[in-house]
Amino acid sequence: MDNMNYQHGDLYLRWNELSFPEQMLNIGSEVSRAVKWKDKNNQRSEQAFFRALELIHFTTKSLYSNGHGRRIKELGRAKEVLYDYLYNGNEYKSTPHSLIKYYDDFITLV
């Protein structure tokens, strides 16, 4: 894993040191960027989406290694909803507010 080229540099080395809410807030930052740029600049939106996916991957690995598998399902659903909003016609009827609020709500747990 050390020789992989991550967009977030070596953040994956410290990712397990963050609490789950802190990880979710970091993911939320990228989600917010992806949503913000959706209708303004597709390239920026897509880049933020891929950075969010990278952080979701880090979090999934962290949850799995720490025995918190039940949250992996939640994280998978969050990824699915974001993808649906950005690329799949928004069948779930998400709004920018609802997507961002989901992640922002983790601030109360930090």
Q: What residue type is assigned to position 13 of the chain? A: L
Backbone phi and psi for residue 8, each to the nearest 5 degrees, phi listed first: -95, 25
> Taking residues 71-86, what's their average pLDDT?
95
Reduced to 3 DSSP states, what percent helix, strand and coil does the chain have, rounded to the nearest 5?
Answer: 75, 0, 25
Task: Give the pLDDT score at 55.
Answer: 95
Band of residue 9 on the pLDDT scale cut at 50, 70, 90: low
pLDDT reading at 3 higher than 60: no
Band of residue 7 on the pLDDT scale cut at 50, 70, 90: low
Collapsed DSSP state (helix, strand, coil) of residue 19: coil
